[in-house]
Structure 1
Amino acid sequence: MLSRWTAGLVALLVLVGLCSAQVCVNNGPLGMITGKIQDWQITASSTYPQEWDKHCHEKYARIYLPNKLGWCAKYKSSSEWLQVDLGVAAKVTGLMTQGRGDGVEWVTAFMASYSMDAFNWQYVTDQYGNQRVFEGNVDSYGVKHSYLDSPIIARFIKFHTVHWHRHPSMRVEVFGCQLCKEPIGLPPYGKMTASSFSSRKRKRSCQPEDGNILSNKAWCSKKQDENQWIQVDVGPPTLITGILTKGREDTRRKHWVTRFKVSYSNDTRVWYFYKDANHLDAKNHWLWTSPPNTSTHQFIPDIHTEDLMEFGGNMDKHMERVHYLNSPFVARYVRFHPIEWHQKISMRVGLLGCPYTGHCGSGFMRVNDDTPCIENLAFKKESWINSRRHYKRHIRNRIVHGHASRAVDGDFNRNLNSCTILDNLYGDNPVWMVDLGRKAKIAGVMIHTWQGSGQEDVTKYKNYQSNLDKLVVYVDDKLKDEDDSYASGNMCGYVSRLNNALFLPRLHISCIRPMEGRYVLVEAWGVPNSWSRLFSAVLCEVQIYE
């Protein structure tokens, strides 16, 4: 396993690498004009006192604001600067400047410096390697766009005043692109769980899924102590660059979290508390282990508990609080641990980062080619073939032929010898079953069918095409006796031979209503009243999703 520091360095290199790669397609303003960069992200060496001029403030350092507004340095000095925190590293290609909208104050020349951590700074240079002095504005209204000779990768940008007209006052924007500032883990793709939750009012609120940042409700813990948490499963491990929080919206009561910690994991067994890389905040972390999907942990202190990183939460139930991470990390699971709250623990949470776009990998799937990767609940789970009628005979057949697990082994080879075969030699309606290992909410099933070598031999495999009528999917919390019919109320859905839909390479069966259960079953039906009753169904891979 990577060490904590090594993992953090890898995450930072991933972020810089993504920004450096030629994958940016939307090059434009990074947030000063649009407001995506919030007021607290704009700072300065000094600012003209508000009691002297109320129109001078860092928050007014935005291009195109109304007249009279702008940032005004307190002193007429070439050591003054205005700093913009982009939140997440960006590929910066240009800078825009404008004077204060009063007709008399603007910066005529400036330099720019940049940093990834606000500690180590470099000046933007020209083609000769010298610190570049940019030509500024010629009046207080026109906008000047200055291209960089070469793009830079930075999170923080400083504008240093060099020369000015009457007073160093300016408004600015930064141009470029950001790849890792996107919301991730949002429903329905992100899955949310919690240590406990209130179940009052018939689940109309307070459920873990109500704790997503887009909700107008919130997650509410059942217990009020520091052992509570809400967890976001984002799918394949991805780069996390920021976190969002809000209070509970759907009540007149004032419920929100004022202070919390964050931990992360890739397997729910080994967890790390988030720790900052620089020396502005507490540094240290704990590592703990726990069985998967449980809330019982064995704590292994790495350093002292009083040094754990703490985040400031909310001050009301409406305002969204954003924290950009100085140490981005790669993880699948992220937990928020409230440690202080107003009245009761209630919160909504969200994540910012890089949406995962690569191959889903083992244990994940895409419902279609353009959706994010989500967990495949069936991957490598225990599976078997059964017939409701000749159970014992078919068990003997299963021992000879085996192969039920081929449908959940993650191998998408559609050759016949890599697939699971259902036939009706020992029963009218053969059934393939998988045990998910836990009760889960089932939204649909994807079946990848046999399309490999041998299918063109209609003489040898004619029963597959001619006599198979439909595949029916059921969801159950417990398996029924062999004489019971699955055609009760547990059917998720089916696909039939109508318009040859049954013989497509990929069959998507979306449940007709929300289903909940531990077992998923695929039953093969033959064509009724056929002169030949023999048929086969070939399942090369079965994927199940919530």
Structure 2
Amino acid sequence: MWKVGVFVFAVIFVPSAFGGVCTTNGPLGMITGVIQDWQISASSVYPQEWDRGCHEKYARIYLPNKLGWCAKYKSSSEWLQVDLGVAARVTGVLTQGRGDGTEWVTSFMVSYSMDAFHWNYVTDSYGNQRVFEGNTDSFSVKHSYLDRPLIARFIKFHTVHWHRHPSLRVEVMGCQLCKEAIGLPPYGKISSSSARQARKKSSCQPEDGNIFSQKAWCAKGQNDKQWLQVDVGPPTLVTGVLTKGRADTRRKHWVERFRVSYSNDTRLWYFYKDADHLDPKSRWLWSPPFNTTSSHLIPDKYSEEGLLFGGNSDKNTQRTHFLNSPFVARFVRFHPVEWHGKISMRVGLLGCPFTGRCSQGFMRVNEDTPCVENLAFKKESWINNKRHYKRHIRNQLQAGHASRAVDGNLDLTFTSCTILDNLYGDNPVWTVDLGTKQAVAGIIIYTWQGDSPDGTPISGGIQSYPVQGHVQERKEGTSFREYMKNLDKLVIYVDEKLKDDDETYASGNMCNYVSSLNNALFARKIHMQCIRRHEGRYVLIEAWGVPNSWSRLFSAVLCEVQVYS
């Protein structure tokens, strides 16, 4: 049911997204070359042995004169088709003759489709098939507006009348979402089932498997149990997959056929299948053959495990598959089934980059970067060594409970924060267990900025406030911030194992630290990038007080702690 639900959502999502997000309008790829040659097809082509300037791949506006698509027959049943790859909001078309002074199309019709099987014609205000006025010479470019924008992946130009011969060059105008590269480093994370050990990790690592790399991922095992996985971050719409072979050796290694699966949690996986898998009829797709860039009809390969995608036939040519059934997922896996030499590949994804507010479990390092996983989100945490953990569970309704720093709540009021103070030791330590060994690149701490626990000034009498299950008194005129001012430093560590006694933690795996110099320690948001990337299961924050202070009591208020890789 979930698989069907995802497909339905994807089909609905793409058109509805254009209205609120798609604000630009321009050429969709025939001029720029974003639309590749294999995405252009036709009912027929004038034989090249008769005229070498006639070919579907020449059906692009502004190519040199005498190049263009020329139909084989002088017939009103001829057509030229453009596959936009993913759905687009189409607002108009450009047409041009062949540029030879004699051949152009004077009138034409346009039809459109989402799947290349179910077609509709553009109609006029009377509901009839609209006949567009075409060109009046062989060289000028004619822009024809649509009365109403339409949503389509495939656009077909039908010749109606022509001068001398039906010859045409075209462009489609509009706006297109969900055709951008997603899951790229450093924000997208790549992992694998296994990896061959190259010298000093110079190649063959999972991160070498991204589509722009000049190396490749190389599987350690040579069997159909291997996979390469891309974590794109917050689940988003995936509309296409890209593959290449291994580029950094003289050996000829690439994957010839593969399957694709996807998941949101790495536990429940779905193999990609087109919607037409539910139909008993056979299905054909426009797709490039292995050894050329021209369009060619080949059948899809079906199996119980999912659609079998055609891979590569050399090391460097990029193979692109646009998905007929886009899906929403966070994790996408490539499963090699057949390969040349040894399993080696580079992969990429096309889709909709995630925008808007980060969902739970994700964070932005700064306001303009993509959402990345918050490794600390709702993980087990405690203050000082774990012997005190049960005490903090008992006091979880009181201020200072350790887990409030990893609950995903950016509410910076005092009661939503964790208090780290030196009531139990000279250098208190707050610890979060990431669950498994992780590569940690940095940490962000959101701090409390109020003047008192309830955010109001302190005046008169003896005040009290709960700290880690105790009631701490303070004298008249003394605000909670005074105790924060006795804080001198926060030191961040990343370790694989914990020390038995963490009262003064001091580890060799220090990530970074922030001090009270120029009040850096008291900023609302403290960002510390590790001096070098550390791998470990535990992230620890150790607090240090100001030396030789008149009061030894100090406190740090951690409202939210975020960890990223």
Please report the TM-score for the alignment, with normalisation by the length of structure 1.
Answer: 0.92
Q: Deviations over 1:452-510 (max 9, x none)?
A: 56345363303343211121111001001316854342111112222222222211110
Partner residue in 2 for 1:219: 217
SS in 2 for 1:270: coil
Partner residue in 1 for 2:9: 10
Change over 3 Å in CA distance of 1:446–1:455 after alignment to 2: same
Any gaps of 5 or more consecutive residues in structure 1?
284-303
One-letter amino acid of the structure 2 residue matched with residue 510 of structure 1: Q
Change over 3 Å in CA distance of 1:324–1:52 after alignment to 2: same
* Distance in 2, Cα, partners of 1:133 & 1:22: 31
One-letter amino acid of the structure 2 residue matched with residue 5 of structure 1: V
Residue 75 (str. 1) matches residue 94 (str. 2): no
SS in 2 for 1:249: coil
* Distance in 2, Cα, partners of 1:484 & 1:454: 30
1:306 is displaced (CA, Å) by 5.1
What pairs with 1:66-465 in structure 2 (closer than 5 Å)?
A: 66-278=64-276, 281=283, 305=303, 308-386=306-384, 396=391, 399-400=394-395, 403-451=401-449, 454-457=454-457, 459-465=478-484
Asked if the contact 2:445/2:525 (under 8 Å) is kept, the reply is yes
* Distance in 2, Cα, partners of 1:386 & 1:250: 49
Please report the TM-score for the alignment, with normalisation by the length of structure 2.
Answer: 0.89
Partner residue in 2 for 1:541: 560
One-letter amino acid of the structure 2 residue matched with residue 476 of structure 1: D
1:398 is displaced (CA, Å) by 7.2
SS in 2 for 1:222: coil
* Distance in 2, Cα, partners of 1:341 & 1:319: 15
Q: Deviations over 1:278-327 (max 9, x none)?
A: 366599xxxxxxxxxxxxxxxxxxxx945731100011111111000000
Asked if the contact 2:428/2:503 (under 8 Å) is kept, the reply is no
* Distance in 2, Cα, partners of 1:153 & 1:316: 35
1:433 is displaced (CA, Å) by 0.1
* Distance in 1, Cα, partners of 2:332 & 2:307: 15
Change over 3 Å in CA distance of 1:59–1:228 after alignment to 2: same
1:3 is displaced (CA, Å) by 3.0
One-letter amino acid of the structure 1 residue matched with residue 542 of structure 2: E
One-letter amino acid of the structure 1 residue matched with residue 2 of structure 2: S
Asked if the contact 1:275/1:282 (under 8 Å) is kept, the reply is no
SS in 2 for 1:499: helix
* Distance in 2, Cα, partners of 1:190 & 1:466: 39
One-letter amino acid of the structure 2 residue matched with residue 502 of structure 1: L
Change over 3 Å in CA distance of 1:398–1:530 after alignment to 2: farther
* Distance in 2, Cα, partners of 1:398 & 1:10: 42
1:487 equivalent among 487, 506, 526: 506
Measured on the aligned residues, the alpha-carbon RMSD in Å equals 1.9
* Distance in 1, Cα, partners of 2:259 & 2:392: 55
SS in 1 for 2:519: helix
One-letter amino acid of the structure 2 residue matched with residue 409 of structure 1: D
* Distance in 2, Cα, partners of 1:192 & 1:282: 32
SS in 1 for 2:57: helix
SS in 2 for 1:63: coil
SS in 2 for 1:68: coil
SS in 1 for 2:106: strand
One-letter amino acid of the structure 2 residue matched with residue 245 of structure 1: T
Residue 512 (str. 1) matches residue 510 (str. 2): no
* Distance in 1, Cα, partners of 2:74 & 2:284: 37
Q: Deviations over 1:337-363 (max 9, x none)?
A: 000000000000000000000221111
One-letter amino acid of the structure 1 residue matched with residue 165 of structure 2: H
* Distance in 2, Cα, partners of 1:517 & 1:408: 18
Identity, in percent, stands at 71
Asked if the contact 2:413/2:455 (under 8 Å) is kept, the reply is no
* Distance in 1, Cα, partners of 2:525 & 2:405: 13
* Distance in 1, Cα, partners of 2:483 & 2:57: 69
Aligned length: 521
1:128 is displaced (CA, Å) by 3.0
Change over 3 Å in CA distance of 1:493–1:245 after alignment to 2: same
Partner residue in 1 for 2:54: 56
Change over 3 Å in CA distance of 1:483–1:238 after alignment to 2: closer
Asked if the contact 1:463/1:536 (under 8 Å) is kept, the reply is no
Residue 528 (str. 1) matches residue 527 (str. 2): no
* Distance in 2, Cα, partners of 1:393 & 1:374: 32
Asked if the contact 1:282/1:310 (under 8 Å) is kept, the reply is no
SS in 1 for 2:105: strand
Q: Deviations over 1:396-447 (max 9, x none)?
A: 5775456111111111211111111001111111110011111110000011
SS in 2 for 1:251: coil
Asked if the contact 2:392/2:402 (under 8 Å) is kept, the reply is no
Asked if the contact 1:282/1:308 (under 8 Å) is kept, the reply is no
Partner residue in 2 for 1:301: none
SS in 1 for 2:520: helix
1:209 is displaced (CA, Å) by 0.8
One-letter amino acid of the structure 1 residue matched with residue 519 of structure 2: N
Asked if the contact 1:111/1:132 (under 8 Å) is kept, the reply is yes
1:192 is displaced (CA, Å) by 0.8
Partner residue in 2 for 1:473: 492
One-letter amino acid of the structure 2 residue matched with residue 203 of structure 1: K
What pairs with 1:14-33 in structure 2 (closer than 5 Å)?
A: 14-19=13-18, 21-33=19-31
Partner residue in 2 for 1:35: 33
* Distance in 1, Cα, partners of 2:95 & 2:31: 11
1:210 is displaced (CA, Å) by 0.7
Change over 3 Å in CA distance of 1:542–1:234 after alignment to 2: same
SS in 1 for 2:11: helix
1:126 is displaced (CA, Å) by 2.1
Q: Deviations over 1:63-86 (max 9, x none)?
A: 001111000001101110000000
SS in 2 for 1:16: helix
Change over 3 Å in CA distance of 1:189–1:280 after alignment to 2: farther
Partner residue in 2 for 1:293: none
One-letter amino acid of the structure 2 residue matched with residue 472 of structure 1: V
Change over 3 Å in CA distance of 1:379–1:397 after alignment to 2: closer
* Distance in 2, Cα, partners of 1:71 & 1:45: 11
Asked if the contact 1:276/1:282 (under 8 Å) is kept, the reply is no
Asked if the contact 2:105/2:161 (under 8 Å) is kept, the reply is yes
* Distance in 2, Cα, partners of 1:394 & 1:78: 80
